[in-house]
Amino acid sequence: MNQRISHIALVVDDYDEAIEFYTKKLFFTLIEDTVLSETKRWVLIAPPGSKDCCLLLAQAATEEQKSRVGNQTGGRVFLFLYTDNFDRDYQNLLEQKITIVRQPVVETWGKVVVFADLYGNLWDLIEPPSTA
């Protein structure tokens, strides 16, 4: 058996606003931006060097979906971004004025900081010990 997760849907308020944040502030790559209808697009982004899993930016279309923007997991860390250089990427978060929710710490599983994206979704930025 061979399976993998290809995309994770991230509910956003606005496609262009989300693309701008992820590509300009976190330096993600815009993989695809295809118009599907007047109100729907297929927008894939991924961190630099990512080979398998992408984020599918899904613009909220209903009131229920809009209520989930920024809080898809009830306030828990939602996404985990691994890096080969924690200090470089943490400094970028500070320079881009991205909200730091929990200051950096060193755990047995690596260096980690919790930050919030433009909508308030919580992310862990992690450098595993093998690269720290």
Q: In the listed set 15, 40, 69, which residue is the last one of a domain according to the structure?
A: 69
Same domain, yes or no: 28 and 58: yes
The confidence score (pLDDT) of residue 108 equals 94
Give yes or no: residues 102 and 58 share one domain: no
Provide the domain limits for residue 50: 1-69
pTM strictly above 0.75? yes
Question: Do 112 and 125 contact (CB within 8 A), yes or no?
Answer: yes
pLDDT tens digits, one per residue of 93-116: 999 999 999 999 999 999 999 999
The pLDDT of residue 131 is 55
pLDDT at residue 48 is higher than 90: yes
Instruction: Encode pLDDT of 11-47 as tens digits.
Output: 999 999 999 999 999 999 999 999 999 999 999 999 9
Residue where a domain stops, chosen among 43, 69, 95? 69
**The domain that contains 89 carries what CATH number?**
3.10.180.10
Structural domain count of the chain: 2
Question: Is the domain of 88 the same as that of 128?
Answer: yes
**Residue ranges with strand state E in 4-76:** 7-12, 29-35, 41-46, 54-59
Q: Report the mean per-residue pLDDT for the chain.
A: 95
On the question of pLDDT at 52 being above 90, the answer is no
